[in-house]
Amino acid sequence: MTLRTSIFSKLQSIVGKANCTRKKEELVCYAYDATARTYLPDAVLFPQNAQEISAILRLANEEGFFVIPRGAGSGMTGGSLAVKGGVILVTARMNRIFKIDKDNLIAHVEPGVVTGQFHKAVEKEGLFYPPDPSSSDFSTLGGNLAECAGGPRAVKYGVTRDYVLGLEAVLPTGEIIRTGVQTAKGVVGYDLTRLLVGSEGTLGIITRITLRLLPLPDTVRAMMAIFNKIETAAETVSEIFRSGIIPRTIEFMDNASIRCVENYLKAGLPVEAEALLLIEEDGRASEVDFLIQRIEKLCLSQGAKQVAIAKTKAARENLWKARKAISPALFQYGPDKINEDIVVPRSRIPDMVRKINALRDETGLTMVSFGHAGDGNIHFNIMLDKKNEADLKKAQGAIEDLFNYTLELGGTISGEHGVGITKAPYMAKEIGYVEMNLMKKIKTIFDPNGVLNPGKIFTSP
């Protein structure tokens, strides 16, 4: 459905002419996300407060057009795409940090704040906001909440939902609600905050967030453990936990990711290694030194070829630069990427690694794995040219197989990227009939006319 001019005029009067567009050259900038799929919206709006968003959603219900919330558009599953047309509602102009409250260790923010900028702001005050998706230089807190983003530090500190105390949100029908608390705890009524976090912009538009903070750890140290066998790296992860240590991060890169990053960045990575682990510890200096030495010994006794401890801040930053470069560097292997975000119980990572090797041998496709090994969260990528139908069919078969095995191991098909459109066809593999119906009923209660972010989670376009 294209948006009638009379409706666009009403939207202009809600947000102001400078805060909306339907020029094609501007629409294309909001037609894609990290899935590389494109759907041209009918208009893009940049509201500045909850009242404007409320008026937009009331109009959407009266006139029957769709509204799709969007932060930075870095989502990996198509959540911010206008798959059925409609208006994209961008939160970029709602980017104020209202207060960082050192006495109560909380912060009040708007959803358009870029995550990395929030990290810097709280760190200046000696505080710490742990959730750190690798996209934190550009993704927004609103998008992080909507996807319940994880990141490397989740292994020790948990994911986004663990830091959200309360919200202001606009319901699809236009009412403005406040959920949760401003206090360290609170249990009055159902937990609507937790329902909205991870709802992928389908139940409401988050307009204000109260976040929990921690004191900033005073020391952080990083190391890279290099392995000749990928299974040894996977087994080392379990061994570290068995020894009673929970590191701040344990990231994993396989040989294909090491090679493509090295080619892209020249960061000095060991291209012959079959795998490497990027491990960090944080806390008080003496404790961190002790743990780093224990982890080093443990890696070597498990069979690591070498362990390199980052001696300077620059060396540590270099390791993270390499880790964060994997996603863009992957495109050296092919023009298209199918990327999955499976999680298995940590102790089953060696089984999953063997499965991935077998899938690679069976299909002959280029497969690249990396991710948050400490959480059992593997980002599994097939790089291919989707125009090659035979390869595409083989890749789809491999994904089915991978998902079935993930669930057999007691895992989940998405650890942090959400369902969006790309995982919607697989939802029923993991979610039972009764549970799925309950979820659909919740969606209908929140959004009786289906105006907010249609075509996501339950059905794919």
Ligand X SMILES: Cc1cc2nc3c(=O)[nH]c(=O)nc-3n(C[C@H](O)[C@H](O)[C@H](O)COP(=O)(O)OP(=O)(O)OC[C@H]3O[C@@H](n4cnc5c(N)ncnc54)[C@H](O)[C@@H]3O)c2cc1C
**Site membership for ligand X, residue 139 (CB under 6 A):** yes
C-alpha to C-alpha distance for 321 and 313, rounded to whole angstroms: 12
**Site membership for ligand X, residue 236 (CB under 6 A):** no
For ligand X, the closer of residues 34 and 356 by Cβ is 34
**Site membership for ligand X, residue 70 (CB under 6 A):** yes
**Sequence-separated (6 or more) residues with CB below 8 Å from residue 36:** 336, 337
For ligand X, the closer of residues 111 and 288 by Cβ is 111
The dihedral formed by the CA atoms of 69, 71, 76 and 80, expressed in degrees to the nearest 10: 20
Q: Which of 133, 99, 137, 101 is nearest to 116 (CA)?
A: 137
**Site membership for ligand X, residue 291 (CB under 6 A):** no
**Site membership for ligand X, residue 111 (CB under 6 A):** yes
- Out of 327, 339, 369, 422, point to the residue binding ligand X (CB under 6 A): 327
Residue 156 phi/psi, 5-degree rounding, is -100, -35
The dihedral formed by the CA atoms of 117, 119, 121 and 126, expressed in degrees to the nearest 10: -170
C-alpha to C-alpha distance for 175 and 157, rounded to whole angstroms: 34
Q: Which of 45, 116, 122 is nearest to 86 (CA)?
A: 45
User: Which listed range, 22-30, 132-140, 357-365, 422-430, lies at the site for ligand X (CB under 6 A)?
Assistant: 132-140
Query: Nearest approach, Cβ of 74 to ligand X (angstroms)?
Result: 3
**Site membership for ligand X, residue 85 (CB under 6 A):** no
- Out of 417, 419, 421, 424, point to the residue binding ligand X (CB under 6 A): 417
Binding-site residue total for ligand X (CB under 6 A)?
36
Spatial contact of 184 and 147, defined as CB atoms under 8 Å apart: no
Report in angstroms the alpha-carbon separations of 442 from 167, 301, 381, 409, 425. 18, 51, 33, 29, 20
For ligand X, the closer of residues 82 and 291 by Cβ is 82
For ligand X, the closer of residues 171 and 299 by Cβ is 171
**Site membership for ligand X, residue 91 (CB under 6 A):** yes
β partners of residue 353: none
**Site membership for ligand X, residue 76 (CB under 6 A):** yes
User: Which listed range, 42-50, 97-105, 130-138, 266-274, lies at the site for ligand X (CB under 6 A)?
Assistant: 130-138
Spatial contact of 84 and 461, defined as CB atoms under 8 Å apart: yes
User: Which listed range, 1-9, 149-157, 249-257, 435-443, lies at the site for ligand X (CB under 6 A)?
Assistant: 149-157
Positions touching ligand X (CB under 6 A) are: 33-34, 68-76, 79-80, 91, 111, 133-135, 139-140, 142-144, 146-147, 149-151, 200-201, 205-206, 327, 416-417, 453
